[in-house]
Amino acid sequence: GAGVSQSPRYKVAKRGQDVALRCDPISGHVSLFWYQQALGQGPEFLTYFQNEAQLDKSGLPSDRFFAERPEGSVSTLKIQRTQQEDSAVYLCASSRSGRFWYEQFFGPGTRLTVL
């Protein structure tokens, strides 16, 4: 594909509902990242995959957040029992792996609103 795609672009959930956000990285990109961007703030790291392996999940704010990338391409970020503080834009980025593959390519994000 031409770039990183994310779906849905917008999601409204009632508090307590589960949501699933999808990311399709650029073909051939080994590394995949999820970031959370609160309104008016910079993105904050959530988790990182290299192929199907989740190498860093230190940024996940609680055990309600779960991410997977079972075949090393598409990734899903799942939030269980959503809370109002989960309202944010969720950005996905992908890149090649290695010292000199520095650029992360971002998708357009999913705006999650929890009512």
Per-residue exposure over 75-114, b if at least 16 CB sit within 10 Å of its own CB, e if not: bebebeebeeebbbbbbbbbbeeeeeeeebebbebbbbeb
Does 107 sit near another protein (CB under 8 A)? yes
Q: CA-CA distance, 17 to 99, in Å (whole number)?
A: 40
Does 108 sit near another protein (CB under 8 A)? yes
Task: Point out which span in 12-20, 31-39, 64-72, 79-87 binds another protein (CB under 8 A).
Answer: 31-39
Does 26 sit near another protein (CB under 8 A)? no
Least Å distance, CB 77 to another protein, is 15
Strand partners, 62: none
Q: CA-CA distance, 100 to 46, in Å (whole number)?
A: 23
Count of residues near another protein by CB under 8 A: 26
Contact residues: another protein, CB under 8 A: 31, 33, 35, 40-45, 48, 56, 59, 89, 91, 93, 95, 97, 99, 102-104, 106-109, 111
